[in-house]
């Protein structure tokens, strides 16, 4: 059953390397997205997440429109994203428990830090798909993601 | 009768028979003697603690403790079924003996696999011989974990073991599932196999993984991880168990080789007897010191503890088969009610000579599920307890203790109406391994009930000194452990 481990690892979710930093800021701020992360098992480290605005970017490794880091010191954390143009978005997130800026994995490449997607979408041997993870942002929107 | 009508009737009868095989309530009906398929029937839910009825003999007053046994007990959902005996949901059973009375409790390990398949009412998670179904969700190997193969008590924790993922923690009293065991954060989800070996001082060694790599776990008796080391293997052999002496780890690399990444896993493994069997011996004190021995091809699932002699000769036993037909096809056919005959597993001593040669000494005795006195793990011993008495069903009917010194099998046959499971060795009052006990279970097809039996290790042929019967028939389980009171 050892193949199983490697089979899954080989096709396992590849969150893009994420760094906190400025990405393209939209010139016409129009929405306010409040993202709440729940069921955080260990109140330490940080949550790193990226926001995508297209299926192409979300499903095929394109660039996110935002990359955000939220410090964690409770079982639930909230952050507010201003200035997203109205539209459909998808989020990929992981809890960087050891704050090393990377999604840690075990020696066979299996992720060891919790990850989650918008709509609490779940993938199978890979990240969730845009079709399941995309949600609308128009005006003031609150979106909850559980780890 | 017209031929086509006869054919139609025959196919209807065959369909009805197939339906009977996969109908769990048939196993519980009790109206007529069950056939061997009761051994792979489904259990629909947890078994609340129940007193077992004493049906013979009497347990010694000072004998007490819990026999934990683990095995698959749910194979079919809706119109779907697991493709292999090894892929059913694990059910932990606890047979507690106290003051001559016995009780049974049994609970399924509450795994992500079981939760998902329950919600879908469909078998969808792939496994050893099961294909992936629609609706499968796996984001790590523990999403496929059936926690169905063995059990150990480690540092006060009861662990249900599988071989492709983490151990599952369960409450030792009520068998409630606590969650996956992570020995160290960076080793989360790393495979922890179902065949750990335990030194007399309680130090645990286990492997996990495979293919071209095996992780080697070393854990202190209190459950603290000492280290985990990746070992490069010379071939992608499938192995389910390993052996160990006081100084060496022994990994048998049978020529049943993983040649592809595919589900079910068994379809990705090919039997290459022309490549022979390799035996890798690793120095426990320096894991980089490794030797390879060569033997003609054999297949095996299970080995016993080994020992070494003063000149460096290593001896260990295994239940060797001419080829892996059982794992490849026969164990799948069981779930369809078919008995495919496969090569007899034969108790064999493998001898690794200091000069680099290896040889095999066959006892000629049919044997599986080898067990021995854990106080002697890694050191010379006399006895290997094993199931035997394979006849008309896929399951054995007898229990025996092979004496390596006398070259004799001390055996008790429970009869053709009884399917015999692995027995555990329990030390007696003295250090002499012959003064111990054998405790284990059978599935009585006439009574349609699971039974618990206690035998003397030095008088197996005399039969049980005490027997108890449950009011439920549980399917055949794989491995167990005994925890003294």
As a whole number of angstroms, the distance between CA B384 and CA B374 comes to: 11
Secondary structure E strands in B310-417: 314-321, 346-352, 358-366, 368-371, 383-390, 396-403, 408-413
Q: Which residues from B are below 8 Å from A122, CB to CB?
A: 137, 139
Mean pLDDT for B453-472 is 98
Answer whether A8 touches B (CB < 8 Å).
yes
Neighbouring CB atoms inside 10 A of B18's CB total 13
Report pLDDT digits (tens) over A51-104: 999 999 999 999 999 999 999 999 999 999 999 999 999 999 999 999 999 999
As a whole number of angstroms, the distance between CA A118 and CA A141 comes to: 13
C-alpha distance from A23 to closest chain B C-alpha (Å): 29
Cβ-defined contact of A125 to B163 (cutoff 8 Å): no
Select from A1, A7, A115 the Cβ nearest to the Cβ of B261: A7
Cβ-defined contact of A106 to B187 (cutoff 8 Å): yes
Report pLDDT digits (tens) over B5-40: 444 334 433 333 333 333 333 344 444 567 999 999
Q: In a 10 Å sphere around its CB, with 0-12 CB exposed, 13-18 middle and 19+ buried, how is residue B8 labelled? A: exposed
Omega of the bond leading into B264 within 30 degrees of 0 (cis): yes
C-alpha distance from A27 to closest chain B C-alpha (Å): 38
C-alpha distance from A41 to closest chain B C-alpha (Å): 13
Q: Which residues from A are below 8 Å from B206, CB to CB?
A: none
Answer whether A45 touches B (CB < 8 Å).
no
**pTM for the predicted model, two decimal places:** 0.90
Report pLDDT digits (tens) over A59-72: 999 999 999 999 99
pLDDT of residue A24: 47
Residue that the structure tokens 């011989």 belong to: B129
Q: Which residues from B are below 8 Å from A13, CB to CB?
A: 139
* Residue B243 near residue B314 (C-beta atoms within 8 A): no
Cβ-defined contact of A123 to B258 (cutoff 8 Å): no
Which of A138, A107, A25 has its CA nearest to residue B212? Answer: A107
* Residue B168 near residue B91 (C-beta atoms within 8 A): no
Mean pLDDT for B384-403 is 96
B180-212 burial, b at 16+ Cβ within 10 Å, e below that, comes to bbbbeeebbbbbbbbbbbbbeeeebbbbbbbbe
Select from A13, A97, A110 the Cβ nearest to the Cβ of B141: A110
Mean pLDDT for B150-161 is 98
Secondary structure E strands in chain A: 32-38, 46-52, 66-71, 77-82, 87-96, 115-117, 135-137, 140-146
Cβ-defined contact of A3 to B211 (cutoff 8 Å): yes
Q: Which residues from A are below 8 Å from B266, CB to CB?
A: none
Residue that the structure tokens 């079981």 belong to: B114
């Amino acid at each position: 059953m050892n193949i199983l481990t490697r089979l899954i690892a080989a096709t396992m979710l590849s969150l893009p390397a994420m760094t906190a930093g400025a990405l393209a800021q939209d010139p016409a701020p129009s929405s306010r997205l409040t993202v709440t992360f729940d069921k955080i098992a260990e109140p330490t480290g940080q949550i790193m997440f990226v926001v995508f605005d297209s299926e192409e970017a979300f499903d095929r490794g394109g660039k996110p429109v935002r990359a955000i880091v939220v410090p964690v010191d409770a079982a639930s954390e909230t952050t507010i994203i201003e200035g997203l143009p109205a539209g459909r978005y998808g989020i990929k997130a992981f809890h960087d428990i050891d704050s090393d800026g990377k999604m840690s994995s075990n020696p066979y490449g299996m992720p060891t830090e919790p990850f989650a997607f918008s709509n609490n979408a779940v993938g199978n041997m890979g990240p969730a798909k845009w079709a399941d993870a995309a949600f609308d942002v128009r005006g003031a929107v609150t979106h909850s993601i559980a780890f | 009768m017209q031929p086509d009508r006869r054919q139609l009737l025959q196919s209807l009868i065959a369909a009805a028979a197939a339906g009977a095989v996969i109908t769990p309530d048939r196993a519980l009906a009790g109206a007529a003697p069950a056939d061997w398929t009761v051994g792979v029937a489904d259990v629909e839910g947890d078994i609340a603690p129940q007193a077992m009825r004493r049906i013979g003999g009497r347990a010694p007053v000072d004998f007490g403790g819990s026999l934990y046994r683990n095995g698959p007990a749910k194979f079919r959902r809706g119109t779907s079924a697991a493709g292999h005996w090894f892929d059913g949901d694990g059910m932990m059973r606890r047979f507690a003996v106290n003051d001559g009375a016995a009780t049974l409790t049994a609970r399924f390990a509450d795994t992500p696999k079981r939760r998902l398949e329950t919600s879908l009412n469909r078998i969808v998670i792939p496994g050893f011989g099961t294909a992936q179904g629609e609706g499968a969700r796996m984001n790590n190997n523990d999403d496929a974990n059936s926690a169905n193969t063995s059990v150990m008590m480690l540092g006060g924790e009861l662990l249900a073991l599988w071989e492709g993922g983490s151990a599952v923690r369960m409450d030792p009293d009520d068998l409630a599932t606590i969650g996956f065991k992570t020995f160290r954060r960076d080793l989360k989800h790393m495979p922890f196999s179902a065949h750990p070996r335990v030194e007399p001082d309680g130090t645990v060694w286990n492997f996990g993984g495979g293919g071209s790599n095996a992780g080697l776990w070393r854990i202190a008796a209190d459950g603290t991880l000492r280290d985990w080391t990746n070992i490069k293997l010379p071939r992608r052999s499938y192995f389910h168990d390993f052996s160990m002496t006081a100084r060496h780890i022994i990994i048998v690399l049978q020529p049943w080789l993983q040649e592809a990444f595919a589900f079910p896993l068994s379809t990705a493994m090919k039997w290459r007897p022309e490549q022979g069997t390799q035996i890798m011996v690793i120095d426990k004190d320096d894991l980089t010191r490794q030797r390879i021995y060569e033997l003609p091809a054999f297949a095996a699932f299970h080995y016993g503890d080994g020992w070494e002699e003063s000149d460096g000769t290593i001896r260990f036993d295994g239940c060797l088969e001419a080829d892996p037909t059982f794992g490849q096809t026969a164990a799948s056919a069981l779930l369809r009610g078919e008995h495919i005959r496969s090569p007899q597993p034969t108790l064999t001593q493998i001898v690794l000579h200091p000069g680099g040669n290896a040889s095999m000494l066959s006892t000629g005795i049919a044997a599986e599920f080898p067990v021995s006195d854990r106080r002697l793990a890694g050191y010379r011993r006399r006895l290997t307890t094993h199931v035997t008495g394979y006849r008309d069903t896929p399951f054995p009917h007898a229990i025996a203790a092979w004496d390596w010194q006398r070259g004799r099998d001390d055996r008790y046959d429970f009869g053709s109406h009884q399917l015999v499971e692995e027995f555990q060795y329990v030390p007696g009052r003295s250090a002499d391994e012959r003064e111990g006990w054998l405790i284990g279970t059978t599935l009585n097809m006439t009574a349609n009930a699971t039974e618990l039996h206690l035998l003397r290790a030095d008088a197996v042929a005399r039969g049980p000194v005490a027997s108890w019967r449950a009011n439920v028939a549980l399917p055949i389980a794989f491995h167990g452990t005994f925890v003294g009171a």
